[in-house]
Amino acid sequence: LYSMEMNDCPSGGFTFDLCKRNAWLEANNASGAIMKKAKKTGTTIAGIIFKDGVIIGADTRATEGPIVADKNCEKIHYLAPNIFCGGAGTSADCENVTEMMSSNLTLHRLNTGRECRVTTAVTMLAQYLFRLLTFTQLFFFLN
């Protein structure tokens, strides 16, 4: 749709240069296309990887459409001593799934005698969520 010169094309990753890109796209909108506006909905979960570990952060507001249902909702859940996850979706479903996964990972840790790996948690969670595919709307971010 839009042609940019290589000098004008922003690089990937998190950068505020995308604001310049958006302004350029709006200014050079020759086709008259309607530009999309930002939509402020949903959960915000972010993670940062550094040399010695990972940091997860999330907002605490639970909404029901435009109404704030809970201002202090926990969205970072414990799964194992070395694994936490950030969850978004229906709060009750998210809480029940993470409690069940935490129990299953505890049983796995006791049976094997070792700490659970993140890949084990991801596989178990993916298999469980696939069975619930038509009943829930959950999104998880594991670290």
Please list the active-site residues.
43
DSSP 65-126: TTEEEESS---EEEEETTEEEEEEE-HHHHHHHHHHHHHHHHHHHHHHSSPPPHHHHHHHHH
Task: Kindly report each contact of residues 56-60 with a partner whose C-beta sits within 8 Å and lies 24 or more positions away, as own/partner.
Answer: 56/84, 56/85, 56/86, 56/141, 56/143, 58/86
Sign of the dihedral defined by the CA atoms of residues 38, 39, 40, 42, in that order: negative
